[in-house]
Every structure is written in C-alpha cells, then in structure tokens.
Structure 1
C-alpha cells in the first residue's frame, strides 16, 4: 500500500469519496450516485467528529446510503420533475397539429409529406399530391394525418 494512502485519515477518505461520487453524477447523470455521495460525505463528517473503526464506518455508510436512496426515491415520487418542453427530443411529437403538404399521394393509407426541407412518411386517409393534411399523432417515424 502506498505510504500516502496509509497516512490518510479516514474522514478525508470518506469526504473524498463523496465528492468523487458527486462529480461522477455530473459526468453520468442518473440521479443515483448523488445520494451515495451524500451518504459518504455525511459518513466522513461523522467519522471526523466521532472516530470509529472501519467496520462501523462501513455500517454507517451502508445505513446512510440506504436511507438517502430510499428518501430520495420517495421525494422524487412525491415531486416529479416536469419538463417545460416535454417533446424536446421527440421531433415527430413536436409536429402534432402542423399542416403539411402531401408530396407523394396517400394511397391505401400510405404516402409522404413535406416537413421543413425534407419528406416524412405519412399514414392516413387517401389524399392527392399537393393536398394539405394536419398531423394528429406520430407512430415511430410515421406521421398520422387527417385532411386539413
């Protein structure tokens, strides 16, 4: 074991682990590591105030991790995070309500329509080329339309 590691006070190890886990949460967000990092920081503060042996430190950390994860999960259920733009990464969902021009006639329920500078596959009632249709929903990469 390196000499610097052997000389490291246990509370500094716990505090460092907590900060490292919090930084890992920033790099790979999942709203999970932050709770374990908080438990490690609290364990570091407790060990700083009341020096315990390693087995008791691990027990304190395990209990605090469980309490933090359980409490965080309950809090998130009671206070769900709502987005100001729920269709942010759903381009097809953002097109609902838009009026499009049919570029390839809709025959047997299938055709294509102009969206921006491209074309998207559409599904809906038969319509001639050049007809206007309104997007009512999206089914994967296919827009469901109705006559406008």
Structure 2
C-alpha cells in the first residue's frame, strides 16, 4: 500500500518519475519492454498534470497505453531487419566464405593454416600439399572449412 500512498501524494509526478526509472532500467536491462512501459508512465503523468484524474483511472490509462505500445512494437517494429554497411561485423570468419586462395603450407591430418589479410587462420579440410588451390566453404568458430578448388 506504500506505492499507492506515494502515487496519491505526488500524483502526476509519481508517474513521470516512475516512467523515467523504467526508461533508465531499459539501459541496464535491454529487451525493448521497459522503454514502452516507461513511455506509457511518462505520458500518463503528463496527461494527469493537464487533466487531474482519479488514481484508478490513471492505472487503467497506463495499462491501456502500455499494452497498446507493446502490441504495436511487437507487431510492426520488433522483427524489422535493418540494413547495414557491415553485415559480417562480429562474424569475421563468415566474410571469407567463397574466397579462393593458394595454400602457404600443407594441410596434414585434416588441419592446416592459411594467411588471410593480417591474420593467420586455422583451416580444416582434406589433406592437400602446399601450393594447392582451395576454396573456403564454411566456418566453425575460428576454424575455416575448405575444399580443393
């Protein structure tokens, strides 16, 4: 009951402060829900500042706004794919798939190494001599899978 007393004492400002706290929680616990709950609370507080409302109606107004905001976010915006200029940013090995190159050292017992850019990568594939042409066909962690080209 302390929460209801606090809301009754501070009225609309309690909603604004609560909304700001929820928005700050979104920074610590990202997931996309607290931003909508916080926005609904801030809007409820601003509406309550302009039109004094009964506390029960404030809760109902907040609930409707929050549910509406979350529904709109889930339905229309959550799964929207954003184009990027660097699609392999945290998938460094994937950017090499499809490239063909010449082996610097032989693949023995299914594993070897190859220089790509400024790094040396571990590769797995059929045993091949140095100088053979290979094609990168996949990646598993930091190991590139290759086949003879």
Q: TM-score, normalised by structure 1?
A: 0.74
CA distance in 2, matches of 1:26, 1:9: 25
Structure 1 residues 74 and 59: CA distance shift in structure 2, 3 A: same
Give, in angstroms, the shift of residue 43 of structure 1.
Answer: 1.0
Q: In the superposition, relative to structure 1, how do residues 108 and 99 fare at CA in structure 2: closer, same or farther (>3 Å)?
A: same
- Relative to structure 1, the CA distance from residue 100 to residue 22 in structure 2 (aligned partners, 3 Å threshold; closer, same or farther) is farther
Q: Write the distance in 2 (CA, Å) between the matches of 1:50 and 1:75.
A: 31
1:67 corresponds to: 68
Q: Deviations over 1:83-137 (max 9, x none)?
A: 3322111111122234455455223533222234443221223222354433222
Q: Does 1:54 align with 2:20?
A: no
Gaps of 5+ in 2: none
Shift of 1:142: 1.6
Bigger drift between 6-15 and 84-93 goes to 6-15
Q: Which aligned segments of 4 or more residues in structure 1 are displaced greater than 4 angstroms?
A: 5-8
Q: Is the 8 A contact 1:14 1:44 kept in 2?
A: yes
